[in-house]
Amino acid sequence: MQISSTAIPGVLVLEPTPHRDGRGFFTRTFDAGPAAAAGITFGEGYQDSQSRSEPGVLRGLHGRSGDGEAKLVRCARGAIWDVVVDARRDSPTFGAHFATRLDDIDFRALWIPPGLLHGFVVLGEEPADICYRIDRPHDPDSDIGVRYDDPFLALPWQRPPEQLSARDAAAPSWAEVFGT
């Protein structure tokens, strides 16, 4: 497994090496040894979650206030355009974003440290299954959100959203949440 840095400190891309043959493929989607060497660890309270989204669904931008949460995100079925925004006020990349395609072909995963906002849009014409490994239990009182189409962020969505949740459609602007 190759682990590489991005332009946002702490955000890492994990790239496994799938083994393919006439029967299909086998790939390791997570390896604790190389991950720990890169600073990715999970405590006893971690959780695994999965969502399924229809084509054109956009989810995000979501995050957690306070201590936040770290998560490892991958797409087990289909393809998504995954976006993270640095919401750490003391970060030199505060307000900057990183975006990448996650799919069931390359099996890349994205490590998102605490303090970032996350969202994705489903690409293609098939549903997508997204798997999350989150480093702590969910605290709904710490949920925060920012509009996916905030002009300040100018995010490079690869597909216009066809479906949003009521929560995402009513999300506040970056300035309303962060005052900048």
- Report how far residue 180's alpha carbon sits from residue 159's, in angstroms, rounded to the nearest whole number: 27
Q: Residue 136 gets which letter from DSSP?
A: S
Asked if 138 and 115 count as a contact pair (C-beta separation under 8 A), the reply is no
CA–centroid distance for 137 within its chain = 17
Tell me whether residue 46 is one of the annotated catalytic residues: no
- Three-class SS of residue 168? helix
User: Which entry of 19, 118, 132, 148 is annotated as an active-site residue?
Assistant: 132
Asked if 93 and 9 count as a contact pair (C-beta separation under 8 A), the reply is yes
Tell me whether residue 132 is one of the annotated catalytic residues: yes
- Report how far residue 85's alpha carbon sits from residue 10's, in angstroms, rounded to the nearest whole number: 12
Asked if 168 and 59 count as a contact pair (C-beta separation under 8 A), the reply is yes
User: Which entry of 19, 46, 62, 138 is annotated as an active-site residue?
Assistant: 62
Q: Could you list the active site residues? A: 62, 132
